[in-house]
Amino acid sequence: MAQQAAAPNSPCAGCHRAQTAHQSETPMARALLLAGSNPTLDAHPNLVLQDGAYTYRIQTRGDQSIYNVSDGTRTVSVPVRWTIGEKMETWVLERDGHYYESRVSYYPIINGLQVTVGQENLKAPTLDEALGRELDHAEVRNCFGCHSSGTVANGVMNLARLQPGVTCEHCHAGSSEHEIDAFQGVFDSAPRDLKRLSAEQVSNFCGQCHRTWATVIRLGIRGVLNVRFQPYRLENSKCFNGIDRRISCVACHDPHVPLVHEASSYDAKCLVCHASQTSNTAANQHVNAKACPVAKSGCTGCHMPKVKVSSPAGILVFTDHEIRVNRPEDPYPD
């Protein structure tokens, strides 16, 4: 079994036990899996998809997985070294010094392979092109920059330094130096204290990988597809306030622990501002938060509706982070 993000064993755990105890179980820690550490491939040792003239087969034996694509007469085979994504899995493939986003991905909703989102309309006239979409240098760097740690420094990618997934150092740059200094009783080199960030700064920080509001605007990503970019959606919310830490990514999500799926667990976050008709004025001068006239629980069920996005494998469901009064007849606000 290859090394995976393992915060409990990380040097940081000595002092930051609470933050590291469950970090390895988070989706971010598992944002990239190395060969031999992918439970999906272990559980499905022979994944197959026929897509037009090509047959895709991902075969796993022991610690090795091989991605094969065949046109019936010839087969191209490359080892699966990097799995990107914790639920839907796509593979970054390397062949003759070039990198490719795999043409097919694993979708949990069908428990099998289908064409990767975004490649539905890409033609593959040759077997070599059927392998996947070739990534340019910047795309490769961006993939590994977000899905792994230590790989990219000052714009230079070095896969020899790759640590899979998001580790402490990924967000807390300089934590390695801090660890060495801390053992000697020196704390001047402590990483930037992210707790001091404003809501807007948190949004931009998380948005480095989850896409900032500005990035989505620049890229012109409109329609339901931008539901995937939570910082953008959150900042569109009427209640978002750049300086109020009660409405930010980390106000609801602790990045050090697994994602909480129970909707009721988020009620308290909303009620901090929306508790009653009178509490809000004293609570924060920037927010004039009305109390909900309908309910005092299950807030996200109405105000953060589920949005359906079609994919080659079927409908994927995302939670919309644009918090709003949602009426069924309203179009998706993009």
Site membership for other proteins, residue 298 (CB under 8 A): no
Question: Between 188 and 262, whose beta carbon lies closer to other proteins?
Answer: 188
Q: What is the DSSP letter of 15?
A: T
40 HSE (CA, 13 A, CB side): 26
In whole angstroms, how close is the CB of 214 to other proteins at the nearest point?
A: 5
Q: Give the number of residues in contact with other proteins, rule: CB under 8 A.
A: 28
> What token pair was written down for 323?
């918090």
Question: Between 218 and 306, whose beta carbon lies closer to other proteins?
Answer: 218
Among 220, 293, 328, 331, binds other proteins (CB under 8 A): 220
In whole angstroms, how close is the CB of 238 to other proteins at the nearest point?
A: 8
In whole angstroms, how close is the CB of 171 to other proteins at the nearest point?
A: 12
Site membership for other proteins, residue 331 (CB under 8 A): no
Question: Between 134 and 177, whose beta carbon lies closer to other proteins?
Answer: 134
Site membership for other proteins, residue 308 (CB under 8 A): no
Question: Residue 180, Cβ neighbours under 10 Å: how many?
Answer: 11
d(CA 144, CA 50): 29
3-state DSSP assignment of residue 51:
strand
Question: Helices (DSSP H) in the chain: which residue ranges?
Answer: 17-20, 39-43, 127-130, 137-147, 168-171, 175-183, 199-210, 213-219, 230-236, 249-252, 267-274, 279-283, 299-303
92, containing H or E segment: strand 90-95
Site membership for other proteins, residue 161 (CB under 8 A): no
Burial 247-283 (b: 16+ CB within 10 A, else e): bbbbbbbebbeeeeeeeeebbebbbbbbbeeeebeeb
x-marked contacts with other proteins along 135-154 as a string, rule CB under 8 A = -xxx--x------------x
In whole angstroms, how close is the CB of 287 to other proteins at the nearest point?
A: 9
Among 48, 109, 214, 257, binds other proteins (CB under 8 A): 214
Site membership for other proteins, residue 2 (CB under 8 A): no
Site membership for other proteins, residue 328 (CB under 8 A): no
d(CA 157, CA 99): 13
- Listed ranges 42-50, 99-107, 199-207, 293-301: which one lies at the site for other proteins (CB under 8 A): 199-207
CA–CA distances in Å: residue 265 to residues 299, 318, 326: 10, 18, 20
- Listed ranges 60-68, 101-109, 110-118, 235-243: which one lies at the site for other proteins (CB under 8 A): 235-243
Interface residues toward other proteins, by CB under 8 A: 136-138, 141, 154-156, 198, 200-201, 204, 208, 213-214, 217-223, 235-236, 240-243, 286
